[in-house]
Amino acid sequence: MPGNGPHIRRLFEPRSVAVIGASHTPGKIGHTILENIIEGGYGGKIYPVNPKGGEILGRPVYARAADVPTEIDLAVTCVPAKYALGAVQDLADRGTKYNLVITSGFSEVGNLEEERQLVGYATERGMRILGPNIFGMFSASASLDATFGPGGIRHGSVAIITQSGALGLAMIGKTAVENVGISAMISVGNKADIDEADLLRYLMEDANTRTILMYIEGVREGEELLEVLRETTGRKPVVAIKSGRSKRGAVAAASHTGSLAGSDAIFEAVMRQAGVLRAESVEEAFNLCKFLSETPPPAGRHAVIVTNGGGIGVLATDACEKYDVPLYDDAQTLKEIFSPVTPDFGSTKNPIDLTGQASAEHYRVALDAALTSEKIHSVLALYCETALFDAESLMKMIRRNYARYKERGKPLLFSIFGGADTETSLDTLTKERVPVFGDVYETVACMGGLYSYGRYLQQRRDATDETEIDTAAIDRIVRGARSEKRSFLLAHEGQALMDAIGIPLPRSRVVRNLDEAVQAAEQIGYPLVLKVVSRDILHKSDVGGVALDLEDREEVIDAYQAIMRNCRTRMPQARIQGIEVAEMVASGVELIAGARRDASFGPIVMFGMGGIYVEVLKDVSFRAAPLDRREVLAMMKEIRAYPLLLGVRGEERRDIESVTDAIIRLATIIRHCPEISDIEVNPLVAYEQGHGAKAVDVRVLLTETAGGSTDA
Ligand code: COA
């Protein structure tokens, strides 16, 4: 729900908390929550509510919410589902601001109506609900642990929003082990009212929060979420943990764009576009968050690896390629910086090899050299246990110097690998919040995340490219289709639409008799294509409704008669609106470009290899609209067949600019014409540089209205 930014503050910083269903029995959820609130050091007023009255944990118990003597900023409801509505009504009636509904048994098990009632009652009276079906929330700004987790949450700078309760509870334990400090932890459960977008609006402003970790399973108000995410990532990093693949889009699909969009690919693409770093595992997400909270993104592209082992140096180099960490390779400068600190038989080429004879002192001097040089922007320090140099000495050196290193403001990550002593050193350093890993890949993945966020910030431009479109003409076309109760456009309407948005088409006309066909052919010029136009014939070639490569008047006459004959014999019931006479398109690279309104993320665009193989190859990429040309280009480069556009085997480069232009136009129309739900150009034929791109076939679906038909 938009527009709740200023109010949501009291969710995180309540002045009073009431626990509805606070239990007298230790171990019950209603008891643990009250215990955590008290033990966690919450400084506001605490009101246990339970009809049995008495005292719990030394606090007087109120029989009903109505009896609580002051305003309630936040209620935590943990009564069984059958009493939940009553509890919500009591709270809403007395003007409670926020209510965390812990209770399960609502939409997650199909009880949609009960959930709607609960939220409906609350919303009408201005009470916001988090949940139901949650484990609660923690907010460091109020020292409030209103969860039934293990307690003892370490305060820090990472905010966690989780849709999975079990995973969230487990994360509380894991944050303690990994020494990750938390600024807020929110279980969103069924998201019946408050959702991620609401929470992000607060967290992006919250000074305690430096990084946000999200575990997302499904997205409802995706368009709004993306908008808020874009705003948030401009201020602080957001890491999302990958979750299951959605099949929803595929089910609803009425086009290639739809069926291909149903996959995880959209989530991946739009999250990246919004600057969200996507982690493959909880471990990776924690690493990223920890590190991103401590260190700013690198100021430039020059990363160096400092190692005492050639093997791990090579492993790290491979990983740098995978995670897009740009290794500095100016041999001369590297030599100047590192030769004073590298043994003669070592290497000053990146990776800087201090050799197996290196000592802790060698590392210290080499790291000092790297961190003080203006030419170097980030450092990966790798260590392999050797007989000459134990991990403990390295650990001591790092402990002595890390604070000083950190002041340099450059990303510095350690990877140490070896036996039991190394593991002990790793634990000690982790406890002291030194970014250290046992595995080279993890280390580089983390640095990759930092570079990726840095690049995003650098490239972030508000400008989105949009084009002029003739909305009056589009309205006319749509009205025409609607008047015939259609939810799709016929071929000639699709072409008119292309005209209105400025995507070039092969020249063509729809004719109703042979004379008109001949006349049109003479005007357009040969070679030509003839195609039947009928809302009843979906696969035109199968019924002999298409004739290609017609060279002259005679061939056009023959083809016209043949098409009419074929269609009448093979599909006698089909209503034929006419015959389309079109310019025969020269061959070029066949692409597909589409735009649609995605159920989760709103307007999206798709690009890929087109023609008849699109479903087989599935070589496509997606972006959310609006987007700029740079983003369109990135989207085009993502497909495997991109080199075909650059020209292979002596072929000319294709007109990439015209293709970009077509995609921008599709993005514009899908954003500005709510009547259009799905538009797909296949093939979009790309010619040689300077010769443009043409929409050879276009398929347009309109937003469903009662009584419309989509059987195009
Ligand atoms: N107002 C206030 N208190 C009430 C009440 C009301 N209207 N009705 C009952 N209570 C009290 C009970 O007397 C009891 O207190 P007591 O132990 O001192 O007698 C307390 O509320 C709890 O009720 P109880 O019937 O014992 O329920 P429970 O503790 O077994 O279960 C829930 C309650 C909410 C925990 C349970 O229904 C539930 O939903 N569990 C799943 C929670 C979950 O997993 N959430 C998602 C996590 S990700």
Residue 477 falls inside a structural domain: no
Residue 200, token pair as written in the block? 């992000």
Q: Which of 124-133, 232-241, 279-288, 510-519 has the lowest mean pLDDT?
A: 279-288
Residue 414 falls inside a structural domain: yes
pLDDT attached to residue 692: 85
pLDDT attached to residue 341: 84
Burial 21-50 (b: 16+ CB within 10 A, else e): bbbbeeeebbbbbbbbbbebebebbbbbbb
pLDDT attached to residue 650: 78
Reported as a pLDDT band with limits 50, 70 and 90, residue 492 is: confident
Ligand 1 midpoint to CA 214 (Å): 28
Query: Is the model more confident about 687 or about 267?
Result: 687
Ligand 1 midpoint to CA 165 (Å): 17
Query: What average pLDDT score do residues 318-326 get?
Result: 95
Residue 126 falls inside a structural domain: yes
Is beta strand 546-550 parallel, antiparallel or unpaired with respect to 528-533? antiparallel
217 and 147 both lie in a single domain = yes
CA quadruple 576, 580, 581, 586: dihedral, nearest 10: -140
- The mean pLDDT of the chain is 89
pLDDT attached to residue 250: 38
Instruction: Find how far residue 528's CA is from the centre of its chain.
Output: 45
Asked if residues 576 and 532 have their Cβ atoms less than 8 Å apart, the reply is: yes
Residue 520, token pair as written in the block? 């049109």
Ligand 1 midpoint to CA 88 (Å): 14
Say yes or no: CB of residue 104 within 6 Å of ligand 1: yes
Report the largest interatomic distance among the alpha carbons of the chain, rounded to a whole angstrom. Answer: 101
Query: Is the model more confident about 463 or about 62?
Result: 62
Ligand 1 midpoint to CA 15 (Å): 24
Where does a domain end: 537, 562, 583? 583
Say yes or no: CB of residue 173 within 6 Å of ligand 1: no
Where does a domain end: 437, 459, 481? 459
pLDDT attached to residue 244: 57
578 and 593 both lie in a single domain = no
Ligand 1 midpoint to CA 82 (Å): 10
Residue 233 falls inside a structural domain: yes
pLDDT attached to residue 344: 80
Say yes or no: CB of residue 78 within 6 Å of ligand 1: yes
Ligand 1 midpoint to CA 134 (Å): 13
Ligand 1 midpoint to CA 50 (Å): 10
Phi-psi region of 649 (alpha: psi -120 to 50; beta: other; left: phi over 0): left
Q: DSSP readout, 293-317?
A: HHSPPPSSS-EEEEES-HHHHHHHH
Q: Which atom of ligand 1 is nearest to the CA of 86?
A: 7
3-state SS, residue 214: strand
Query: What average pLDDT score do residues 132-140 get?
Result: 97
Say yes or no: CB of residue 64 within 6 Å of ligand 1: no
Structural domain range at position 526: 507-583
Say yes or no: CB of residue 54 within 6 Å of ligand 1: no
Ligand 1 midpoint to CA 30 (Å): 6
Say yes or no: CB of residue 349 within 6 Å of ligand 1: no
Q: Which atom of ligand 1 is nearest to the CA of 148?
A: 47
Residue 690 has pLDDT above 70, yes or no: yes
Q: Which atom of ligand 1 is nearest to the CA of 56?
A: 18
Reported as a pLDDT band with limits 50, 70 and 90, residue 299 is: confident
DSSP state, 281? S
Instruction: Give the percent of the chain with pLDDT over 90.
Output: 61
Instruction: Report cis status (omega within 30 of 0) of the bond before 351.
Output: yes
**Rounded distance, CA 22 to CA 28, Å?**
9
Query: What average pLDDT score do residues 127-151 get?
Result: 96
300 and 444 both lie in a single domain = yes
Query: What average pLDDT score do residues 694-704 get?
Result: 92
**Rounded distance, CA 697 to CA 701, Å?**
14
Say yes or no: CB of residue 22 within 6 Å of ligand 1: no
Residue 517 has pLDDT above 90, yes or no: yes
Asked if residues 405 and 367 have their Cβ atoms less than 8 Å apart, the reply is: yes
3-state SS, residue 327: strand
Residue 131's CATH number: 3.40.50.720
Q: Which residues contact 648 (CB under 8 A, 6 or more apart)?
A: none
Residue 222, token pair as written in the block? 């995706």
Residue 43 falls inside a structural domain: yes
Query: What average pLDDT score do residues 133-146 get?
Result: 97
Query: What average pLDDT score do residues 270-284 get?
Result: 88
564 and 604 both lie in a single domain = no
Q: Which residues contact 210 (CB under 8 A, 6 or more apart)?
A: 157, 158, 183, 236, 292, 293
Ligand 1 midpoint to CA 184 (Å): 25
CB atoms within 10 A of CB 318: 12
Query: Is the model more confident about 234 or about 237?
Result: 237
397 and 514 both lie in a single domain = no
Tens of pLDDT, residue by residue over 199-214, are: 999 999 888 899 999 9
103 and 53 both lie in a single domain = yes
Residue 677 has pLDDT above 90, yes or no: yes
Asked if residues 184 and 209 have their Cβ atoms less than 8 Å apart, the reply is: yes
Instruction: Locate the DSSP E strands across 359-409.
Output: 378-384
3-state SS, residue 477: helix
181 and 42 both lie in a single domain = yes
Query: Is the model more confident about 48 or about 222?
Result: 48
Q: DSSP readout, 576-589?
A: P-EEEEEEPPPP-E
Residue 565's CATH number: 3.30.1490.20
Q: Which of 98-112, 367-381, 616-630, 694-708 has the lowest mean pLDDT?
A: 694-708
CB atoms within 10 A of CB 340: 11
Ligand 1 midpoint to CA 102 (Å): 9
C-alpha pair distances (Å), 178 with each of 170, 283, 285, 362, 699: 12, 9, 12, 29, 53
Residue 3 has pLDDT above 70, yes or no: no
Ligand 1 midpoint to CA 23 (Å): 7
Q: What angle do CA 586, 592, 593 make, to 5 degrees?
A: 120
Q: Which atom of ligand 1 is nearest to the CA of 83?
A: 7
pLDDT attached to residue 283: 85
Phi/psi at 643 (5° precision): -55, -25
The CA-to-CA distance between both ends of the chain, in Å, stands at: 36
Say yes or no: CB of residue 367 within 6 Å of ligand 1: no
Residue 688 has pLDDT above 50, yes or no: yes
Residue 215 falls inside a structural domain: yes
Where does a domain end: 583, 607, 639? 583
Ligand 1 midpoint to CA 333 (Å): 67
Reported as a pLDDT band with limits 50, 70 and 90, residue 657 is: confident
661 and 563 both lie in a single domain = no
C-alpha pair distances (Å), 444 with each of 363, 463, 629: 19, 32, 30
pLDDT attached to residue 30: 98
* One-letter amino acid of 505: L
Q: Which atom of ligand 1 is nearest to the CA of 169?
A: 48
Q: Is 176 exposed, middle or buried (0-12, 13-18, 19+ CB in 10 A)?
A: middle
pLDDT attached to residue 712: 38
Q: Which residues contact 545 (CB under 8 A, 6 or more apart)?
A: 531, 532, 534, 537, 563, 566, 567
3-state SS, residue 75: strand
Residue with tokens 């450092």: 379
**Rounded distance, CA 406 to CA 416, Å?**
18
Q: Which atom of ligand 1 is nearest to the CA of 24?
A: 18
Residue 682 falls inside a structural domain: yes
Query: What average pLDDT score do residues 396-413 get?
Result: 91
Phi/psi at 140 (5° precision): -65, -30
Reported as a pLDDT band with limits 50, 70 and 90, residue 464 is: low
DSSP H or E run through 660: helix 656-672
Residue 663's CATH number: 3.30.470.20
Tens of pLDDT, residue by residue over 630-641, are: 889 999 999 999
pLDDT attached to residue 386: 80
Phi/psi at 170 (5° precision): -65, -35
Query: Is the model more confident about 707 or about 441?
Result: 441
Query: What average pLDDT score do residues 179-191 get?
Result: 93
**Which residue, by CA, sits nearest to atom 20 of ligand 1?**
21
pLDDT attached to residue 459: 75
Is beta strand 693-695 parallel, antiparallel or unpaired with respect to 676-686? antiparallel
179 and 324 both lie in a single domain = no
Residue 449, token pair as written in the block? 């995340």
Instruction: Report cis status (omega within 30 of 0) of the bond before 69.
Output: no
Residue 47 falls inside a structural domain: yes
Tens of pLDDT, residue by residue over 64-101, are: 999 999 999 999 999 999 999 999 999 999 999 999 99
pLDDT attached to residue 4: 40
Say yes or no: CB of residue 29 within 6 Å of ligand 1: yes
Query: What average pLDDT score do residues 422-446 get?
Result: 91
**Rounded distance, CA 337 to CA 91, Å?**
67
50 and 12 both lie in a single domain = yes
Beta-bridge partner residues of 9: none
Residue 391 has pLDDT above 50, yes or no: yes
- Report the number of distinct structural domains present in the chain: 4
pLDDT attached to residue 243: 66
Say yes or no: CB of residue 25 within 6 Å of ligand 1: yes
Asked if residues 40 and 145 have their Cβ atoms less than 8 Å apart, the reply is: yes
Residue 260 has pLDDT above 60, yes or no: no
**Rounded distance, CA 48 to CA 36, Å?**
13
Asked if residues 315 and 440 have their Cβ atoms less than 8 Å apart, the reply is: yes
**Rounded distance, CA 434 to CA 411, Å?**
11
CB atoms within 10 A of CB 327: 17
641 and 692 both lie in a single domain = yes
397 and 422 both lie in a single domain = yes
